Chain A
Amino acid sequence: MTNDRVPPGSVAEKPERPDRVRRSMFVIGCIGIGAATAGFLAATVRFLVPNVLYEPSRRFGIGPPTVFPPGAVTFLPDRRLYVFNGADGFYSISSVCTHLGCNVKRGGPGFECPCHGSQFDENGQVVQGPATKALAWYALSLSPHAQLVVDLDQPVNPEFRLRA
């Protein structure tokens, strides 16, 4: 440190030895502020994650099994879901294209997507890209009131069947 007003050779001119206590307090302070900043950032990100979703429930009833005629496919547009009543039981396949989220339609080998031309077979397996993942299958169950219930948070394999 130099200061014009301090005459040369005075105390201030001597090279100061670092004060251990001050230095460690400074380091502790820096760590504290750093940790607080990190915590603040984490809190901000957490703040952005909604705790309550004002969107349709991910688990919902779709009516009694009897409304789905045997051997037929029913499209539930509001749920973006195809429900099959096959020979060996019920199963449901999502109509959300795994490429970029358009609704696939029945057609071609099984399903076709209008957006970028992906094609899927009857089980939702990719026949032609650009999609690389098969269409999602969701678990079906029977509620105590004999309603079919779909759970979008419970994906299942294409072997899944619900006997009802």
Chain B
Amino acid sequence: MSQTLWNRTLTWSGAVRRSVSRVGWPATDKDRAAAMISSLFLHIHPARVSRHVLKPAYTCALGLIAGVLFVVLSVTGLALMLYYVPYPPEAYRSMKDLQFVVTFGIVLRNMHRWSAHAMVMVVFLHMCRVFWTGSYKPPREFNWVVGVLLLLLTLGLSFTGYLLPWDQLAFWAITVGTNIAAYAPVVGDQVKFLLLGGHVIGPMTLLRFYVLHCVMLPLAMLLLISLHVWRVRKDGLSGAEVHAPAAEEVAGVFPPSTKTYGLMALSKRPRTSVEARDPNDDVFAWPQLLYRELLVALAVSVALHVVSLVFMAPLEEMADPTRTPNPAKAPWYFLGLQELVHYSALVGGVIVPTLLVLALLVVPYFDRGKAGAGQWFAPERRVANAVFTTLAVIFAGLTIIGTLFRGPNWAWVWPWK
């Protein structure tokens, strides 16, 4: 009697499990490959990947880390929204509440803040990696363009988030930032008016920045990240074709395929032919890729927790439009621009950033030769890499000067004095 009841329960629970996931925990390579393809969450991976792709020194996992940070920011951000009131002066008080009243509120706030800073840095480094490995070469030109848009979205999210604490830091950083926008020719003043929802930074501005920061920009980001990752999946990661053995080498080893690949006839994407790829160079994505990814996500998570438990996110006095702190600085990633703006607002605030973004957007359509794609600092790409590196170093240098070497009245100071 009890035996049958037990068996029935087992059958029933098995049926429930199967309704959730059609296959059991995959035990063989074949099952795991099938799972990679059939699961919504896993199918952004191929079933097999080139060994080359797995080398941490190739991608430095930077795109992956950016993705992990986006998830962390979304989760912590949603939690913060439960206590945050987007209206001054309550906005500032809710930050104080999060710090001193809400249990674990401060950890969440720190984590959100430090992840945001880290994301700007990581996305920038990811872009550098992609450039230095020539990974924007055909067929990946458009994914580079999507990437540039993601970089702009990352900056936009950081900037709109910066106002929300409604402290002095926030208020004056946004004052300086939105006044830079006003230097844009013709539409500058109107853009500033729309952004602020008025002439001065006030409740309307906070509400606009809040909606942009919490809804519009994250949704746009989610959409573009999906497109970005989808295209990485479709094109495969760069570099695999460079490291694939030459077709003649493989030809003698593997019999020519007689299979007709029905769907592949439809796929327009350029790829090396199936026969030319050495199957021995490929490994199964589960476990080889999947476990590495989980490890990176775990490491990022641990690092963020440690940092957030040790370092407090800054919160100054409540925003006071009548008192300008000296010096008033934009968020650090805009301090390179502010340093330029110190010489000329039009050049530093409008002309240089516009030209930089335009140059980034069109670079894959001008630098089209495929030579040197898929490897770090390929000698064939000496000129392109030199130009990019020079610009990146100048930009980083200006940012460091603006952050550390500028004191009251934007005069030069030594950070260790």
CB within 8 Å of A: which residues of B? 172, 175-176, 178-180, 193-194, 197-200, 202-204, 321-328, 338, 341-345, 408-411
Contacts and interface: CB of A to CB of B under 8 A. Distances in A.
A8 interface: no
Given A116-B342, A117-B410, A103 B194 contact: no
Interface string A79-98: 01000000000000000000
Contacts of A102: 172, 175-176, 324, 328
B232 to A, nearest CB: 33
Interface in A16-57: 45, 48-50, 53-56
Contacts, number: 81
B324 A115 contact: yes
A32 to B, nearest CB: 29
A77 B409 contact: no
A115 B410 contact: yes
A117 B323 contact: no
Given A49-B194, A130-B345, A54 B175 contact: no
Most buried by B among A114, A115, A116: A115
Contact of A115 (B202, B203, B328): B328
Given A100-B175, A102-B324, A103-B322, A116 B341 contact: yes
A144 interface: no
Nearest to A56: B200
A98 to B, nearest CB: 9
Most buried by A among B324, B327, B410: B324
Most buried by A among B198, B342, B344: B342
B343 A114 contact: no
Contacts of B338: 116
Interface string A51-69: 0011110100000000000
B179 A101 contact: yes
A53 B411 CA distance: 37
A114 B409 contact: yes
B125 to A, nearest CB: 29
B322 A53 contact: no
Contacts of A114: 324-328, 408-409
A34 B341 CA distance: 41
A102 B328 CA distance: 8
B173 to A, nearest CB: 11
Interface in A97-139: 99-103, 112-117, 129-130, 132
Nearest to B344: A130
A115 B197 contact: no
A130 B322 CA distance: 22
A104 B343 CA distance: 18
Contact of A112 (B344, B345, B409): B409
A103 B345 contact: no
Given A100-B180, A100-B345, A58 B204 contact: no
A4 interface: no
A114 B341 CA distance: 14
A78 interface: yes
A135 to B, nearest CB: 14
Contact of A132 (B175, B200, B345): B345
A48 B193 CA distance: 10
Contacts of B193: 49
B194 to A, nearest CB: 5
A130 B202 contact: no
Contacts of A132: 345
B409 A130 contact: no
B323 A101 contact: no
A146 B323 CA distance: 30
A117 B203 CA distance: 29
Contact of A55 (B172, B202, B324): B202
